[in-house]
Amino acid sequence: QKEVEQNSGPLSVPEGAIASLNCTYSDRGSQSFFWYRQYSGKSPELIMSIYSNGDKEDGRFTAQLNKASQYVSLLIRDSQPSDSATYLCAVNRVTDKLIFGTGTRLQVFP
């Protein structure tokens, strides 16, 4: 079992729709959870971080964490073509290395 699992996609959604990205992790000791966006040929860019169960909203983005189910998700509302990228889920224990999933490629079509 991979430490952090994501569906590779591509996930295709129309402009204006909600994109839902999912991630599961295996280490119950994980304490910090991150979503990064990576455009082709570029370095990852931090979008959201979440540390406790529940939802965390920031603009069009909402991260959801369920530690009991070892599940973290990212919702993107009002998806735009500029949101088309690969979204990486990452987890770590505090002060420890980040473990990344393989990423989900999102395509937002006009």
Partner 1 sequence: GAVVSQHPSRVICKSGTSVKIECRSLDFQATTMFWYRQFPKQSLMLMATSNEGSKATYEQGVEKDKFLINHASLTLSTLTVTSAHPEDSSFYICSALVARGRQAFFGQGTRLTVV
Residues that bind partner 1 (CB under 8 A): 32, 34, 36, 41-46, 49, 51, 88, 90, 92, 94-103
Q: Which is nearer to partner 1, 13 or 48 (CB)?
A: 48
CA distance 107 to 9: 9
Distance of CA 8 to the CA centre of its chain: 12
Encoded tokens for 107: 């395509």
Of 17 and 61, CB closest to partner 1: 61
Query: With respect to partner 1, which residue has the nearer C-beta, 9 or 71?
Result: 9
Minimum distance between the CB of residue 106 and partner 1, rounded to whole angstroms?
Answer: 15
Residue 12 makes CB contacts below 8 A (sequence gap 6+) with 107, 108, 109
Provide the minimum distance between the beta carbon of 61 and partner 1 in the complex, in angstroms, as a whole number.
Answer: 15
Least gap, CB of 92 to partner 1 (angstroms): 7
Q: 62: how many CB neighbours lie within 10 A of its CB? A: 18
